[in-house]
């Protein structure tokens, strides 16, 4: 696809290589127990499916719908659950799978929500991290790539629901 507003930041092959490394590392960190991978819809669904297949142990997969961003590029600061989990988290090791940590508002809210369900542990795997943008003191335990403060799309990430199906992670330039 040629689109003058897109600039490749992380090519697909590099994304896939890093996810295989994360899969091996996370599998080694959880040798036993019930591991629930919780995909935060919609952005993390591409990451979740590749990460789950890179794991070398059994995993449960569940989905949670969250909306913070609305249709623009800036967070509304309000978090809403649009779809809840289908499974109980009691005694489970929970791995929240998120596309990107930006202000940290979404993940802070989610951590509090899921802690109330008494899992054995909770950790976060985020494909991307924009540390400069943080407004809440939260860090992912597993990060694919730290990136600068640019708006990115592709590999699940969207702008107004567009560009999710790009293989590469791209910076979306403002139209002149």
The catalytic residue positions are 102
Nearer to ligand IMP by C-beta: 93 or 99?
99
Q: Counting beta carbons within 10 angstroms of the beta carbon of residue 164, is it exposed (0 to 12), middle (13 to 18) or buried (19 or more)?
A: middle
CA angle 78, 110, 164 (to 5 degrees): 75
In the complex, least distance from residue 120 CB atom to ligand IMP, rounded to whole angstroms: 25
Q: How far is the CB of 54 from ligand IMP (least distance, A)?
A: 21
Query: By the 8 A CB rule, do 132 and 126 touch?
Result: no
Out of 6, 15, 38, 43, point to the residue binding Mg ion (CB under 5 A).
Answer: 43
69, 76 contact by CB (below 8 A): yes
Cβ closer to ligand IMP: 30 or 151? Answer: 151
Token readout for 167 is 């293989």
CB of 51 to ligand IMP, least distance (A): 15
**Minimum distance, C-beta of residue 72 to ligand IMP, in the bound complex (Å):** 10
Residue among 69, 37, 41 at smallest CA distance from 54: 37
Measured from the CB atom, the residue of 33 and 148 that comes closer to ligand IMP is 148
Size of the site for Mg ion (CB under 5 A): 1
Angle between the 12-29 and 45-54 helix axes, to the nearest 10 degrees? 60
Residues in binding contact with ligand IMP, number by CB under 6 A? 17
Residues that bind ligand IMP (CB under 6 A): 43, 68-69, 75, 98-106, 151-153, 157
């Amino acid at each position: 696809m040629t689109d003058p507003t897109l600039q490749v930041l992380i090519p697909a092959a590099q994304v896939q290589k890093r996810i295989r490394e994360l899969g091996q590392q996370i599998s080694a960190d959880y040798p036993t127990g019930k591991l629930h991978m919780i995909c935060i819809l919609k952005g993390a669904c591409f990451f979740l499916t590749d990460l789950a297949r890179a794991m070398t142990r059994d995993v449960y997969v569940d989905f949670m719908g969250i909306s913070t961003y609305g249709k623009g590029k800036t967070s509304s600061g309000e978090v809403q659950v649009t779809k809840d989990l289908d499974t109980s988290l009691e005694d489970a090791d929970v791995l929240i799978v998120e596309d990107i940590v930006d202000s940290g508002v979404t993940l802070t809210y989610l951590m509090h929500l899921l802690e109330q369900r008494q899992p054995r542990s909770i950790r976060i795997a985020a494909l991307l991290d924009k540390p400069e943008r943080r407004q809440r003191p939260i860090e992912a335990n597993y990060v694919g790539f730290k990136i600068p403060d640019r708006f990115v799309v592709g590999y699940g990430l969207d702008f107004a629901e567009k560009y999710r199906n790009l293989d590469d992670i791209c910076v979306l330039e403002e139209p002149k």
